Structure 1
Amino acid sequence: MATDAEIWALLYQAFASCPRPAHFTNYQHCCECFEHDQLLRSRDLETLAIADVGSPAWDPICFITPQGFAYYFPALARLALSAPDADWGWYGEQLFFHLVVDGSENRRWQFCTPQQRQAIAGLIEYLIETRTDLIEVNGCTEMAFDALEIWSAESP
């Protein structure tokens, strides 16, 4: 079985060609979108932390563009592969939410290349296999399998 580092390396490679967008949200829409954009613009793949994205009530990833999501996906995967944070908990549950949003109309799925979708599906499978207890204790088993179904599909 692969290791966390090997899974992350595959994801990093799959998303390496994704350019950093000038803006990550529709920053002119409202104050909240502007604030989330400012936060995401101040971070990169190494500095994005769970404190930045760990609150379901104030999560910039809910507002991120598909381009921004693809750019930041390796960082989000890094957070999901990390041990639960004492203040924020396990990021995997929130990542599953972001992967199932809009179901069959998932703009993030539509934006990603087949190689990127395959890498994400591999991450989900890996999390299901290696983080079973965390998935169960966080009550996100159904969401994890829904995410796997979406990202493993030929079409959303």
Structure 2
Amino acid sequence: MPTADQASPMPTDAQILAAIDAAFGDCPRPEHFTNYRHCCECAEHDELLCSRDRSTLQHADVGNAGWDPICFCSPEGIAYYLPALVRFALDEPGEHLDWYGWQLVFHLYQGAAYNVFLNHCDASQRQAVAALLAHLVETRAELLEMEADDVLRAHEIWSTHGAQGA
């Protein structure tokens, strides 16, 4: 993230979405999103994700941290759905669902440098995610609350890996 004396104009939500769309918009839709033969829960999550696409996935489909299909999703599936997930994170918190940003941060930081999604992404995708994380810190600090340290650590690993390339 730039220091105060290196400050550059903060990107808008629309610019962040455009960067995510550019980096992940061409990711193919997998035939399956989870290891659907593993158990009933994986099969149920796979059925839901297979019944949606980027434009029909809803915050309510993924917004319950206790029943989140993205926790079981393959890296290819997360890459496919990331533009939609980022849109949920940039939306205002709803009346019936928590703000999605903290769940997205969890998915991006889980496992730190061993995060399977991080290691699946190429350098341009990692840079787009790092820009998203910096944007969340700059524009959604009040919503991040206790997760601020995780966001900063996530930004560091996505930035570091992004600089190293895929």
- The two structures have a TM-score, normalised by structure 1, of 0.95
Once the two structures are aligned, what percentage of the paired residues are identical? 53
CA shift, 1:17, in A, is 2.0
Return the match for 2:109 from 100, 110, 131. 100
CA distance in 2, matches of 1:82, 1:145: 20
Number of the residue aligned with 1:86:
95
Question: Over the residues paired in the alignment, what is the CA RMSD in angstroms?
Answer: 1.3
CA distance in 1, matches of 2:57, 2:105: 18
Return the match for 2:79 from 70, 83, 92. 70
CA shift, 1:149, in A, is 1.3
CA distance in 2, matches of 1:10, 1:66: 19
Number of the residue aligned with 1:148:
155
1:20-67 residue CA offsets vs partner (Å, 9 max, x unmatched): 000000000000000000000111111111110111110000000000
CA shift, 1:19, in A, is 0.2
**Which amino acid is the alignment partner of residue 53 of structure 1?**
V
CA distance in 1, matches of 2:122, 2:25: 12
Q: What is the aligned residue count?
A: 154
Kindly report which structure 2 residues correspond to 1:99-118, keeping only aligned pairs within 5 A, or say none. Answer: 99-118=108-127
After the TM superposition, which segments of 4 or more aligned residues of structure 1 sit over 6 Å from their partners? none
CA shift, 1:89, in A, is 1.4
Note the residue ranges of structure 1 that are not aligned, 5 or more in a row.
Answer: none
**Which amino acid is the alignment partner of residue 88 of structure 1?**
L
- The two structures have a TM-score, normalised by structure 2, of 0.89
Number of the residue aligned with 1:20:
29
CA distance in 1, matches of 2:148, 2:106: 11
Note the residue ranges of structure 2 that are not aligned, 5 or more in a row.
Answer: 1-9
CA shift, 1:106, in A, is 1.0
CA distance in 2, matches of 1:89, 1:57: 12
